[in-house]
Structure 1
Amino acid sequence: MDSKEFFIPRLGEAQIASPVQAMEFVPDDATVAYDTSTAVLEEYVKNGQAIPAFEQAGPRKLIYHDPAWSKAAILTAGGLCPGLNDVIKFLTLTLKNIYHVPLVYGIRYGYRGLNPAHGLAPIQLNEDNTDDIHQQGGTILGSSRGEESAEIMVETLARMNINLVFCIGGDGTARGAHDIAVEAERRGLSISVISIPKTIDNDIAFIDKSFGFETAVYMAGIFAAGAHNEAKGAYNGIGLVKVMGRDSGFIAAYATLAQSYVNYCLVPESKFVLDGDGPDALLPHLYKRMLEKQHAVIMVAEGAGQELFPQGEDVRDASGNLINKDIGLLLKDRINQYFKERNTEVNIKYFDLAYTIRSVAAHGADAVFCAMLAQNAVHAAMAGRTDMVVGHWNGHFTHVPIALATRERKKIQLNSPLWTSVKASTCF
C-alpha cells in the first residue's frame, strides 16, 4: 500500500475554536496504521517508507466551518438497512446540540431529492421529529437508487447555502458523494461531503465493519433456529434459509457460526456444484446426510451459486448492480427433483430473508455503532474534511478516502480464520 492513497482532502485551514465540550480532542495528525503486523511495520521503517495509515476520526480543537453560518443536508440512498434512522438521528443531534448548527435538512429519497425536477421538498430535522425514529426500521427520509447529475445536485446545494452534506449508503452512494465533492471543488465551493457507509453485506473495503450487519446476523440466527425446528419436526426435513449477500457471504458465514444448527453454508466466494462425484457436489452430500440424520439446515447467500444458472443477459438495478437469480428457489427445486428421482421423501421449508432482515430497527451494539459513526461524521465535516467515508479500523474510527473505500469489495478469504471456523462447524 502507498501511504499517499490514505490522504483526506481538506477545504482549508481550520481556524475556528470548536464549541465541543466535555470531549477529548483528537490531534490533527493522529493516525491509525493500516497494517497491524509488527513485521510488516518494521519493514516499512527499514526501507525508509511512510507507514500507510488512516487519519483518526474524532473532534478537532479547531474547525473549518463556522457553525452559526452552517447548513447541513442528510440523505439516505440505496437499499434499506438496520440503523438508518439511528444515523439520521445522531447526525441531527450532533449538528444541533453539540455544534449548534441552526438548520439541518433531510433530503427525501436519496440523490433524487437534490434534483428539483422531481419536486421533492426537503424537510427540516430537529430534536423533536427525530426523537424516537431509532425505534423504527427503514428510513424516515426515504431512499432510492439511480444517478443524478452532479452539476444539478451541487447547484441545488449552492442555492440552499448548504455547506455540510452527509450521504448514508453503500459504495454506489459513496461514488455519488465523490462526484458531488469533485463538482463542488470545481466550482470553488467550500462544501464538506461525508459518506457514512451503509452495507448490510459488510463488504466495503478498508472498513472492518459497517452498521446494520450485526443486526442482520442476529435476525438471520433467529430464522436459522426456526429452520432447524422445522427440519427436525418433519421426516427428512430441510430448512433452507436465504440471506442477503450479493458478492460477499459475511451474513451467511457469521449467522452460521452464531447458530451452530446450520449444516451447510453456501457463499459467493466458495464455488460448488449440484451433482457429481467430487467433494464440492452438494446434492450427493446432502442425500447421504439425510439418510443418516433425517434433517439438515442450509444457509445460502443470495449471490452464491450464480454460475449454476443458464447463461443469459445480465439484469441490473437502477444503481447498476447486477440482479442475482434466485439461488434459493433453484436449490429448493433441484433438491426436490434429486430426492424424487431416488424415490426418497423430502420436506423443504424455505425462508427468504432478503427484505425481512434489512427493514428492522438496529439491535443492541449495532445501534451504538450507528451513533458513534454519525458523531464522527459530523466532527470530520466541521473540521473541513471532504470526499471521505467514516470508517472503523483496529478499534478506532477513521477517515477513509472515498476512492480507497470503493476501489474493491471486501470478500471472505477462504484461508481466513472466519471461513476455517465455518468449515469446522458445518459438514460440507
Structure 2
Amino acid sequence: MGLESNSMPKIVIGDFGYTLEDVPHLSDFIPDLPTYPNPLQDNPAYSAVRQYFVDYDDTIAQNIVVHKDTPRGIHFRRAGPRQRVYFESDDVHACIVTCGGLCPGLNTVIREIVCSLNYMYGVKSVLGIHGGYKGFYSKNTISLTPKSVNDIHKRGGTILGTSRGGYETKKIVDSIQDRGINQVYIIGGDGTQKGAAVIFEEIKKRGLKVAVVGIPKTIDNDIPVIDKSFGFDTAVEEAERAINAAHVEATSFENGIGLVKLMGRYSGFIAMYATIASRDVDCCLIPESPFYLEGRGGLFEYIEKRLKEFGHMVIVIAEGAGQEMLSESLNQKDASGNKLLQDVGLWISQKIKDHFSKERKMTINLKYIDPTYMIRAIPSSASDNVYCTLLAQSAVHGAMAGYTGFTVGPVNGRYAYIPFHRINERQNKVVITDRMWARLLSSTSQPSFLSTKDVVEDSMDDKKETPNYALLENGFADAHK
C-alpha cells in the first residue's frame, strides 16, 4: 500500500500576503449535504459562554513573530464548534484507533473523544478498534461509553492496544463502510498520519460521508507545525527523574559518571528539555548535533576535564545520537518504516570504560540508566491531561462540522485544523543554530563539538589561533516556525 496522498492542497489567497492552508470538507466531494443546528446551543454547559461558536472565517497564523512590513503569511482554520453541523447526533457511528508506540496521554484522548461526543453532541455509538489499523479488518472492536472510559486516564498505555504498520487501505475502508462508521478518529505519529491521509483519499474516492480526523502522537515531539505533541511534557518530567538518579549515583563515587539514554530517534527535544530542566547534566548529545569521541575537542577529552575539575559527570544521550559511529549499522526497518537503531547508550558506555581504563589508566565508575519504557508507559501529567482534553474536543468539533482529512493541534497557543500533508512533509528537529540549543550549551558548559576533519586540518596547518567552533553544516535543520 502506498502512503502518498494525491489531493491537491486547498489554498485560499487573501490580501497582504495572507494564505489559508485549508482542510477538506465533506461538501467538497458530496454535493447538497444537509446541515443541522449545533446541539451545543441547547447544552447547559455552554449556556454561560458569550460566544458558543467559532466564526467561519477565524484562522490561526503559523508565524507569530512579525515585523511591521511582514506579509500576513500562512494561516490554518481555527478549531472549535460551528453553528451548523453536518451530522445528526443519532446518526453518528464513530470509531477510535490508536497506532504506533506508546505515549503518555493516549487514554486521556480516548476518554475525552468518547465523552465529548456523548456529553456535547449526544452521540451514543462509539467503537474502539482494538490492535491498531489491523483491528479494522480483524474484527476486533469494543463499545466505548462514558462509563467504560471513566477512569482510563489514570492508566498508562492504551486500552485499545496498538500495533505498527501492516495494514491494507481498501480492507480498512471496506470495514468502515460495512460497519456504517461515519467518523474515524486516528491517534498516532507521522507514519499513522500518512496512513490516515491515504484512508481519507480512499473514502473520498468512494464518495462516502465519513469524516477522517487525525490526532498527532509522538513522544519525541518530532511532528512539525504544532507547538508540541501530547505526552512530551510528561516524558520530560519523568526523564528528569532518571537524570536525578544518575546524578546521585555519579556524585556518590570517585570519578562517577551517570549516563542516561532518552528517547529521540531523529529529534533530541526530550534530551534537550530534560537537560535544561535538570541543571545536573554536564553533556547532552542529540541526533541533530554531531560529535566525536577521540582527539582534541572530542567527548573523551571533555569527560576527563570535567572529572578532574568536579569529580563526577552526568551525560544525557538521545537514542538516535551518534548512530553513524556505531560499527555495525543496521539497514533494517520496523513495520512503521523506522530504521532500527542500535543501543547507543550501551555502545558509548563501553567506549568510555575502555578509553579510561585501557588508554588513560584512570579509574571511573559509570552507571548507565535507560528509562525508555518506564517513560512511555506512565499516565500523563496534569498539563498533558489538559492538552489531551483540548485536542480531543477540537477533533470532535471539526468532525461534527463536516471537516475531514485533517489533523488537529495547537499553533501558537490556539488550536487549529491542519492539512495532513503539512504534518507529513518533514520531521520537527532541534535547530542547533537556534537560541534554545545555545541556552543548553550555556547551561551545561559543554563544547559545540568540532568535526574530526576540522581538527585534523587545523593541526596540519599548525595554526595557533583559537579554533572555529562553528557547528557542522550537515547538522543544521530547517528553521522551526
Shift of 1:5: 7.3
Q: Aligned equivalents of 1:367 and 1:401: distance in 2?
A: 24
TM-score, normalised to structure 2, is 0.84
Paired residue for 1:234?
A: 253
| 2:184/2:210 contact within 8 Å kept | yes
1:400 & 1:14 partners in 2: Cα distance? 25
1:184-333 to 2 correspondence within 5 Å?
A: 184-278=203-297, 281-310=298-327, 312-333=329-350
Paired with 1:310 and 1:222, the residues of 2 have a C-alpha distance of 31
- Picking from 370, 374, 385, the partner of 1:352 is 370
RMSD over aligned CA atoms reads: 1.5
Counterpart CA distance in 2 for 1:37 and 1:360 is 35
Q: Aligned pair in 2 of structure 1 residues 189, 162: CA closer, same or farther (>3 Å)? A: same
Compared with structure 1, are the counterparts of its residues 257 and 57 closer, same or farther at alpha carbon in structure 2 (3 Å cutoff)? same
Structure-to-structure mapping, 1:16-415, within 5 angstroms:
16-20=36-40, 21=43, 22=46, 23=49, 24-39=52-67, 42-44=69-71, 51-116=73-138, 120-278=139-297, 281-310=298-327, 312-341=329-358, 342-415=360-433
For 1:42 and 1:167, locate their aligned partners in 2 and report how far apart those are by CA, in whole Å. 40
The answer (yes or no) to whether the contact 2:20–2:77 under 8 Å persists in 1 is no
- Tell me the CA shift for residue 343 of structure 1: 1.2
Structure ranking higher on relative contact order (CA contacts 8 Å, 6+ apart): 1
Matches of 2:330 and 2:375, distance apart in 1: 29
**1:276 is matched by which residue type in structure 2?**
G
Deviation of 1:361 after TM superposition, in Å, equals 0.1
Task: Please state if 1:416 is matched with 2:443.
Answer: no
Cα shift at 1:365: 0.6
Q: CA deviation at 1:44?
A: 2.4
Whole-Å Cα distance in 2 between the matches of residues 87 and 319 of structure 1? Answer: 22
Alignment length (residue pairs): 417
Following TM superposition, by how much is the alpha carbon of 1:92 offset from its aligned partner in structure 2, in angstroms? Answer: 0.3
Please give the per-residue CA displacement for 1:88-142, whole angstroms capped at 9, x wherever unaligned.
00000001111111200000011010113xxx42000001110110000000000
Identity across matched positions, percent: 42
Per-residue Cα deviation, 1:213-254 (whole angstroms, up to 9, x for no partner): 000000000111111011001111111001100000000000
The CA deviation at 1:291 is 1.6
**1:11 aligns with one of 23, 26, 50:** 26
Amino acid at match of 1:36: I
Query: The residue matched to 1:52 in structure 2 has which SS?
Result: strand
Deviations 1:293-331 (A, max 9, x none): 110011111001111112544121111101111110111
CA distance in 1, matches of 2:255, 2:128: 52
Q: Give the distance between the partners of 2:95 and 2:224, measured in 1 at CA.
A: 26
Shift of 1:37: 2.8
* Equivalent pair of 2:131/2:140 in contact (CA under 8 Å): no
- Corresponding residue SS for 1:398: strand
Deviation readout 1:143-165 (Å, 9 max, x if unpaired): 00013111110110011100000
Output the TM-score relative to the length of structure 1.
Answer: 0.95
The 3-state SS of whatever aligns with 1:218 is helix
> Counterpart amino acid of 2:252?
G
Amino acid at match of 1:16: Y
SS in 1 for 2:427: coil
Distance 1:35 1:87 in 2: 27
Code of the residue aligned with 1:88 in structure 2: it is I
Partner of 2:471: none
| Counterpart Cα distance in 2 of 1:83 and 1:36 | 27
CA distance in 2, matches of 1:326, 1:171: 23
Q: Report the Cα distance in structure 1 between the residues aligned to 2:34 and 2:253, rounded to whole angstroms.
A: 67
Contact 2:330 2:341 in 1 (8 A): no
Q: Which residue of 2 aligns with 1:48?
A: none
Q: Distance in 1 between matches of 2:166 and 2:57?
A: 35
The runs of at least 4 consecutive aligned structure 1 residues that moved more than 3 Å come to 1-5
Equivalence for 1:426? 444
Letter in 1 for 2:287: P
| Alignment-mate amino acid for residue 306 of structure 1 | Q
- Which secondary structure does the structure 2 equivalent of 1:348 belong to? strand
Structure with higher Rg: it is: 2
**Any conservation in 2 of the 1:76–1:110 contact (CA below 8 Å)?**
yes
**TM-aligned CA distance change 1:312 to 1:332, over 3 Å:** closer
Distance 1:8 1:303 in 2: 33
What's the secondary structure of 1:159's corresponding residue? helix
For residues 14 and 56 of structure 1, the distance between their equivalents in structure 2, rounded to whole angstroms, comes to 23
CA offset digits 1:49-96 (Å, max 9, x no partner): xx3101110111111122210100000000000000000000000011
How much does 1:28 deviate? 1.5
Q: Tell me how far apart the structure 1 counterparts of residues 137 and 366 of structure 2 sit (CA, whole Å).
A: 47
